[in-house]
Structure 1
C-alpha cells in the first residue's frame, strides 16, 4: 500500500461521501474512486458499502481506518524526528519536551534542575514546548516532541515508555469567598453538586468538552479566570496550590482518582539527552517518594 492510497481512503472514511472527499483532497472524483477500487482489489476486501444515496464503512474498512491512521501518524513522526536529527548533526543535539502550559511548573523546574546537575548536561539542550490541555500526548506521538510530561489517568501511555515521577491526590479549586472553601474536605459528589459553582468542562481531543452544566474553557489561564469570577470550580492535582493567587482556595477531594505525572518517550528513542532526562526523572521520583507530603486544606 502507498501512503497516497491510505490518505485517499481516510478522506472517504471520514467524509463518507466521495464528492466531498475529492474536494477535500483537491482532486476529481473519478481518480479517487479508481484509487479506492485498486486498494480494495489489492487487499481483496470490500472497504465501503456503496448505494446511490450513502457510503458506509464495512467491518474491514473500519479496521483499516484505525490502522491507516496510526500508520500515517507513525510515518509523519518518523519524518519529523529524522529531520530534527539531521539538523542537529552540525550542532549540539537537543530534545523537545512537551508539557501542558500552567501545569507541573514546579515539577518541570525540579526535573530540569536535576538534569542540569549531571556531568556535561546543559538545560539549553532541552526545548520546552508549552501546549494546550491534552495536546502534549499528541505532540509526543506525532514526533513534534521527544518527551512529554503526561498525567494519568487522563493521558494514555499505550505504546510509550515512561517513568512515574509523582502520584498526588486531587483538590477542588474554588473562589476563597465561597462558603464551600471553609470545608475540611468534600467528596467528588459534593463537589459536583455545588449548584452555584458548576465544575468546568475540560476540552477533549475530538474538539468537544466533557459533558455537564459547567462552562467550557480552552486553556489554564481561562480556567483560572472563570473560577475567580465565581462561575466555575475545578478538580485538579493538589500541586496546583503553589500556583494559585490569594483569591482562590483548595479543598481536598479524597475520593477523586489520584493523578500520576509521568515522563514519557517513544520506546525506540536512542537520544543520550532523553536518557539523561529519564535518569533525572528517576532521581526526582525517589525524592518525592521519600517525602510523600500530606495534603491539607488551603
Structure 2
C-alpha cells in the first residue's frame, strides 16, 4: 500500500458562526416552528448558500423585496445585515408581521449614526458600496446625511459640508488594519471628527482576523471557508495574504478546493512537512470546515492542531415574540 504524503492542518480559532449569525438563523427556525411554513425572509439571512438552502428545506422562502411576498399574511424576517428604515415602514404599510434579525452590533452602528445626525454632524461611513449592511446604515438617515468612504484615497479626497461637524462610523466586517489606515487619514485631515466610543468592527471579525494572523506565516496554503459575497470571509483571505500566506483561497465547500493543485504542491515536498491553514467566515457553519478536513484526510496523512487566540461567549437574545413562554 502506497504511503500517503503528510499534511499538517492548522485550524484557526475562533472561526465560523458568530453570535449575530447564530441568533439570525435561530430566529428563522423558531419562527417556522411557531408560525408554520412558509416564513418569508428578505435577502439572505446570512451570506452562506448552505445555510440558506438548509432553511429553505425547513420552510423559509427568501425574497429580495417585500412586494415579492406571495402571502402578506405570513411572517417576514429581515436579514442579519440590517435594513433601511424604509423597509419596516413599508412592511407596516402593507400590514405585515415582521421580525428584525439585524445583528445587535449593526444596530449599534445605526444608533450611533442617528445620534451624530441629531447632534448636527455629517457622517462618513467606512465600508463597501453595495453591501447590504452599508445599504441598511445609509438608509437610516435622509439622503446626503452620510458619505461613503471605501479607501484611503476616498478619505484623502472627501469634502464634507462642514469639517468641524463631522463623525465616522464603519461597517462591522471590515479588515481592522485597512480601516485603521482610513481612520488615521480622516483624523489627520479632520482633527475634530468624532468616532464611536468603541470600535464598530465587531468582536467576531476582529477575533477571526487575529486567529488567521496567528497561523498565516506558518501555512503553505490557507483555505477560508465562506461565501464570495461574505465581506468578513473575503477580508480573511486578504488578512492571510498580508500576514505572509501567499496562497490563501476562499472556498464555499470542499468540492471547490483544487485538489489536483494541492496534491501536486504536497508531492513537491517529497515527504517534507506541508501545512494547510483552515478557517471560516462568521456565516459559515462548522460542518463545511469539517467537510474540508475530511477530504484532506482522505488524501493525505493528516495531523491537526487548533491554534486559539481568544474564546467567545457572546450570546444575543431572541426577540420576545420567539421566546417560548
TM-score by length of 2: 0.24
TM-score by length of 1: 0.26
Higher-Rg structure is 1
